[in-house]
Amino acid sequence: MFKLKLRTWQLTVSLLVISVGTIFFHWQTLPPEIPLWIGRPWGIDQLSGKYGIFWIPGLILIFQIVGMVLVKLLKSDIFLVSIILVTTGVSQIICTLAFIRIIMMIT
């Protein structure tokens, strides 16, 4: 169980470093408005300000915090804790892939 918790933290830190590092690397080339809300209809509804790109690393961190709180609350049920940790990791990976897609669209 400890290894799975450790791997989840390692994944979180790695994805945060990749996301924030990519933002700072491409900061000068980012347009003033970014198509952050991809699920909305095409047009102005999809756009967010330049600083809106920080929502995705923030969401990755929120997933980790919520996952760790749930793990502490449910520590007696090892199977449920494992499911929560894996779900947290998969959610973070999906957020990072969406982030990469957005960056590739605008640069």
**pLDDT tier for residue 42 given thresholds of 50, 70 and 90:** confident
Write out the two tokens for 69.
């709180």
- Pairing outcome for strands 47-49 and 33-35: antiparallel
Mean pLDDT of the chain: 90
Give the model confidence (pLDDT) of 20-30 as tens digits.
999 999 999 98
Buried b (16+ CB within 10 A) or exposed e, 41-74: eeeeeeeeeeeebebbbebbeebbeebbebbeee
Q: In the chain, what percentage of residues exceed pLDDT 70?
A: 100
Identify the burial level of 5 via C-beta atoms within 10 angstroms of its C-beta, where 0-12 means exposed, 13-18 middle and 19 or more buried: middle
Task: Output the pLDDT for position 73.
Answer: 94
